[in-house]
Amino acid sequence: MQHKGTVQLETERLILRQFQFEDAETMFQNCWSNRDVWKWTSYEEMSIVDDLITKNGLFTDWWLDLYEHPNRYNWAITLKSTDEPIGRVFVIQINEESAEAEITYEIGEKWWNQGLMTETLKEVSRFLFDDVHVKRLIAYHAKENPSSGKVMTHIGMTLFKIVPNGYTCNAGTFDSHYYEIFNK
């Protein structure tokens, strides 16, 4: 693989870029303060913006300094019209030997069912396949969160395994549905 780091990417409606400290308040308001978004993550509950930092270690100097690593992929999903972060896509695991990457993502409820996450993941997968030379991209979701799986199928991912009780998040423990797509 040829790591490039979290470079800025652009789609028709979005700019995918590195987070900045100044994004904390907006990201909290637009995404992570909503229980319907938060429940599918493993973050500690966030009731005030300071919880991003104190409970979850987000938006700290350490967290932002991770962008210096070329194998760090953590994009703020921002609207071109406002430059406000509304979500995130993050490569949570990289297997150098097999050239595989596992991604996770979340977007604020106000932006659900508008094709924005599909648009995001199409561009991120294009970048990871074409520029980084990932061979296989993996993602998974809780069976009880089928909307996340729909996004995966919209970018061409296919279900390859189900792990009973394999997904633990703030909403509980559920069967995890794993999807994959290969570089063509």
Nearest to 89 by CA among 73, 105, 100, 101: 105
Radius of gyration of the chain (CA): 16
User: Predicted confidence band at 42 (pLDDT cuts at 50, 70, 90)?
Assistant: confident
pTM recorded for the entire structure? 0.92
Q: Walk me through the domains of the chain, giving residue ranges and CATH numbers.
A: 9-138 (3.40.630.30)
Mind listing the pLDDT tens digit for each residue in 26-41? 988 887 777 777 777 7
Mind listing the pLDDT tens digit for each residue in 80-139? 999 899 999 999 999 999 999 999 999 999 999 999 999 999 999 999 999 999 999 999
- CB-neighbour burial class of residue 15 (10 A; exposed 0-12, middle 13-18, buried 19+): middle
pLDDT value for 102:
96
